[in-house]
Amino acid sequence: MDSRYILDKSSVRTRVVGVGSGGADPCRAGRSVLHDSRVTPVEKNGTVPAFTHGPVLYKFVVDVGGSAAEVDGGQTSAKGNGLSPGGRISQDGEKTGRGDQKDIGSTGILKRASPTHCPGINGQLRGCFMHLDISNPGKQAELANSFRAAQVQNVPQTERQPLPSSHIPVPRNRKPSGHADKEVMAATVLTSLSTSPLVLYPTSASTVPEPANRAWKEVLSASYSSSTSGNWSWDASDQSVPSTPSPPLSNDTNKNFLLSPHGDDISEDVTESTHFMFEDPIPRKRKNSMKVMFKCLWKNCEKVLSTSSGIQRHIRTVHLGRNSDSDYSDGEEDFYYSEIEVNMDSLTEGLSSLTPTSPTTAGPPPVFPSPLTDVPHSDHINMNGSQTPAPTLLSQSAPSTLCHIRTDHAYQATAPVSVPVGPELAGLGSGNGTRPGTGTGNGISVSWQSPTVIFKGTPGPVTHIRTVSIGEKRQPTANTLTTVTKNHALITPPAKSVPGTRKPRGEAKKCRKVYGMEKRDMWCTACRWKKACQRFTD
């Protein structure tokens, strides 16, 4: 794993250009191969990676040192042998400060990049804005050339710095299936621009089917050709555009949003690697109690689900209006949710607070009197005392960052219990939650010491009863006895009497003693049944 991470880390800086073809689910495909994509030697050498062949699907203008140049992201010549000029710009991070990858390039972009702004590498190209102008593919070659010229002009060959985010990782093989798909692709491009190094990382070389190619052009031109002014911005107001579902991209959600596209069923793994690549030490130290939840980033939607599939389905059905039964996912949902970490201890406490009695802690009620509470009863104290607003917290506004809800109480006592916290949490899941089969994986395992120890028996209650003891025990007709019994019931938990709470042996002779074994038939039934003697009670 570690080695893989290392490799991944080095590969973070690569930018994959071009549109591949292949899997039916480009986004997923891109993610799934994310870790395996790495810089090919070819790319490192400055030539165009093999996978860049194929028709040009996009281009953009990079403002270099004040002069703008439009660049091909790929090539129009299309015959797949991709050594296009445009391809050159596809190596960015590789040429730059490789030694300190985490301070520059992809990491910075990933962490802070806004959709409109492209932080430069090593201070260069700061403030470069990306302009999408795909509407005129015919000019691409020319533009590419001009860009190349501009690039040479402005930057000496030896110092030529890569152009950050100058590649749009385009998901491969989008199904050109209509407007919705266009939107998907548009969203993909937009998101990719802000998260380019890690997200949507198509790997292998493959030519783009012509339909897909066309679809891309159409999509991009249709969606963004209106922004001819150049500076491509995407602010909240754009969400009003009816045909383009847009996630809320507020600043605070953006950070999470950047992490969001990794939410698959292997989210844990992906998350780990992602954080690793982000040099974020926190996740590695994630406690077991920290549960990754998935929060919908759609505007005014605070939906939080425990599974990525759930949130994807939610987004797909609720926000994207997709067919709910279809499991087909083009990956667009990935852009509209983010991971959050929730302390599951809190959640379980929240759950337990809703439960009248913990089944296995059936022992003493929390109001157990002090004589019996000479035990590590912290669990119970916490259970009553710290009613953290866990569910409320989640339901009101799931924090987009970390949800640190402190609790110490777990839900079950005896064994590690898997508590499916997904949709039930704070009423978060409204039916479209987890798919069958994902539930267990999303449950949490909480285990702690069995509280049976807690109530194990000091003879406290016994002594107590002895002092009040009345002649007959367990005689329903004896008022005093019933009183005692009631007191006993108050003191001892309604459930099992624990060893130590055992009733003291009666001092009266019992049927057995009186009649002996020979006359067992003369015994009271209780004695016969080895129950407390009903005839000779204490």
**Binding-site ranges for DNA (CB under 7 A):** 459, 462, 473-474, 496-497, 499-500, 502-506, 509-513, 517, 525, 527-533, 537-538
Task: For DNA, give the closer residue by CB, 462 or 491.
Answer: 462
Residue 164 tokens, joined? 């950050």
Task: For DNA, give the closer residue by CB, 244 or 485.
Answer: 485
CA atoms within 13 A on the CB side of 355: 18
Task: For DNA, give the closer residue by CB, 211 or 471.
Answer: 471
Q: Pairing mode, if any, of strands 304-305 and 290-296? A: antiparallel
Task: For DNA, give the closer residue by CB, 325 or 521.
Answer: 521
Task: For DNA, give the closer residue by CB, 172 or 473.
Answer: 473
The nearest distance, CB 314 to DNA, in angstroms, is 43
The nearest distance, CB 462 to DNA, in angstroms, is 7
The nearest distance, CB 485 to DNA, in angstroms, is 11
Task: For DNA, give the closer residue by CB, 404 or 502.
Answer: 502
Distance in angstroms (rounded) separating the CA atoms of residues 517 and 260? 77
Task: For DNA, give the closer residue by CB, 126 or 496.
Answer: 496
CA atoms within 13 A on the CB side of 404: 2
The nearest distance, CB 537 to DNA, in angstroms, is 7
Which run of H or E residues covers position 118? strand 117-118
The nearest distance, CB 473 to DNA, in angstroms, is 6
The nearest distance, CB 488 to DNA, in angstroms, is 11
CA 213 to chain CA centroid, nearest Å: 33
Task: For DNA, give the closer residue by CB, 175 or 474.
Answer: 474
Mind giving me the DSSP string for 141-157?
HHHHHHHHHHHHHHS-G
Residues 6 or more apart whose CB falls under 8 angstroms from that of 167 comprise: 15, 16, 17, 73, 89, 90, 92, 196
Partnered with residue 68 across adjacent β-strands are: 63
Helix (H, G, I), strand (E, B) or coil at 224: helix
Q: Pairing mode, if any, of strands 337-343 and 290-296? A: antiparallel
The nearest distance, CB 469 to DNA, in angstroms, is 11
The nearest distance, CB 459 to DNA, in angstroms, is 6
Instruction: Tell which residue, 184, 173, 167, 186, has the closest CA to residue 213.
Output: 173
Q: What is the DSSP letter of 232?
A: -
Instruction: Tell which residue, 130, 245, 281, 104, has the closest CA to residue 194.
Output: 130
Residues 6 or more apart whose CB falls under 8 angstroms from that of 31 comprise: 199, 200, 201, 261, 262, 264, 270, 331, 334
Task: For DNA, give the closer residue by CB, 68 or 514.
Answer: 514
The total number of residues written for the chain in this structure: 538
The nearest distance, CB 512 to DNA, in angstroms, is 3
